[in-house]
Amino acid sequence: MVAFAKVAALLDQRRTGYSLPQAFYNDPEVFAFDLEHIFRRTWLLVGFECELPTPGARLALTVGKSPIVIVRGRDDVIRGFHNSCRHRGAELCAEGHGKGSRIVCPYHQWTFDLDGRLIHAGRMPADFDKAQHGLGAIHVETAGGCIYACLAEEAPDFEAFRREAGPMLEACNIKNAKVAATVTLVEKGNWKLVMENARECYHCAIGHPELAVTFPVLTKRHFEAGDDPRLLAFNARMEAAGLPIGPAEGEWWQAARFPLNAGMTSMTMDGEPAVKKLLIEKEGGDVGSLRWTSEIHSFAHATADMVFYFSSMPTDVNETVVTGKWLVHKDAVEGQDYAVDQLIELWDITNRQDRDLVETNQRGVNSVGYKPGRYSDEAESLVQRFVDWYCHEARNVVTGENRPFV
Ligand code: 3BY
Ligand code: FES
Ligand code: FE
């Protein structure tokens, strides 16, 4: 509750259109508040259906300090659980991918079925009720091959996302993908600085010379076409090909298809596809990219040849782990249809540049001389949306209200 009063006072100080008061970026109490209240309130893109190809496949990850596990059941339903044994709380599944017909605790071997029911616990008293000791479920939804999870008691609406972004994702064929590469980076920066950085390309022309070859770095909010004939022609061509462009936005998400720079069909070093076997065959793969985001932690790009996924998870007030995943068609053969080095090169360079920028930002924000500065409406409109959304969520938490974000 101390944190509530502190956060309420900081929210009162905050000026719309300006970066946040310093404590939002470096105060351990605010960070504890963020983990406990903000990360638990919203939907997170935790992975892809293709990562759990068969019953018993699982994916364990940590949200803040909370380990969770996503499991495909024998009925093919994908469920999520707190990755914490109902005996004495041990972590059940090690971080990353795993597989097994049951979930067996490594500590005293309590054994859970894939739907979370406790089915074996040795040497327990006669009055012990297994039915009272099933795994704690978390909310899980899938759309277009993506798996979303939410740790709140009551999850925010998912249906608008499914309805509006679902068809945009379906068109990307992510269900027929596989993860070809994963890279994690530890960034010495607060998660909000990581996400602010991920929401703008104000820094891209100078900060990402390699990305700037293919990515339209002067983009505004959602790559709006305005009266640009090339963009208008692209939009018409995509709609005709059955690739919806949006843009669409909900409280916690955004999605838009946009053209890359002229002549470019993928976000690679030279703009050529990195994979011979395409996920999207339409238009010969000349389909730009679908960018979709979950406000709090992720963005992803689906070009014809690959999906690049970026997820940031806070680990400490000034530390964030960024996970990058590259997905390609499940039938693409490494060494024949793609080379991992080439596949990941551009985004890997870009992510490392972003890590350096975030760390530079954090060091400066820690200064006694830091004062919130004005955002660019043109170049940082999605940064403003992110901080507005965060402040809105935080205000709801401290007041106990549940006002919608509009
Ligand atoms: O997707 C974007 O908007 C860009 C690409 C690289 C940085 N930023 C996240
Ligand atoms: Fe899992 Fe004891 S903590 S069986
Ligand atoms: Fe960047």
ipTM tops the 0.95 cut: no
Element (H, E) at 119: strand 118-120
Cα angle vertex 274, ends 268, 278, to 5°? 125
- Pick the residue whose CA is nearest to atom 9 on ligand 1: 198
Q: Which of 218, 257, 260, 291 to mutate to test the pocket of ligand 1 (most atoms within 8 A of CB)?
A: 291
Cα dist from 394 to 9, 364, 398, whole Å? 11, 24, 6
For the stretch 152-156, contacts whose Cβ atoms lie closer than 8 Å and that sit 24 or more positions apart, written own/partner, are 152/40, 152/41, 152/42, 155/43, 156/41, 156/42, 156/43, 156/251, 156/252
Cα of 84 vs centre of ligand 2, distance in Å, is: 9
Q: Which of 201, 203, 226 is nearest to 215 (CA)?
A: 201
Q: Are 334 and 181 in contact (CB under 8 A)?
A: no
CATH 2.102.10.10 segments of the chain: 43-155
* Full-model pTM: 0.98
Q: From the CA of 198, give the closest atom in ligand 1.
A: 9
Per-residue pLDDT of the chain (406 residues; tens, 9 = 90+): 679 999 999 999 999 999 999 999 999 999 999 999 999 999 999 999 999 999 999 999 999 999 999 999 999 999 999 999 999 999 999 999 999 999 999 999 999 999 999 999 999 999 999 999 999 999 999 999 999 999 999 999 999 999 999 999 999 999 999 999 999 999 999 999 999 999 999 999 999 999 999 999 998 888 888 899 999 999 999 999 999 999 999 999 999 999 999 999 999 999 999 999 999 999 999 999 999 999 999 999 999 999 999 999 999 999 999 999 999 999 999 999 999 999 999 999 999 999 999 999 999 999 999 999 999 999 999 999 999 999 999 999 999 999 999 8
Predicted pLDDT of residue 275: 98
Task: State the virtual CA torsion across 10, 11, 14, 17 in degrees, nearest 10.
Answer: 150
Strand stretches in 176-330, DSSP E: 177-187, 248-249, 253-258, 289-294, 298-302, 307-316, 319-329
**Residue bearing the CA closest to ligand 2, atom 2:** 108
Q: How is domain 1-39+173-402 classified at the architecture level of CATH?
A: Alpha-Beta Complex (3.90)
CA–CA separation, 245 vs 9, rounded Å? 41
pLDDT of residue 118: 98
Give the list of residues 6+ apart from residue 237 with CB closer than 8 angstroms, or none.
283
- Which residue intervals of the chain bear CATH 3.90.380.10? 1-39+173-402
Q: Which amino acid residue places its CA nearest to atom 4 of ligand 2?
A: 108
CATH (one of 3.40.50.300, 3.40.1550.10, 3.40.440.10, 2.102.10.10) for 43-155: 2.102.10.10
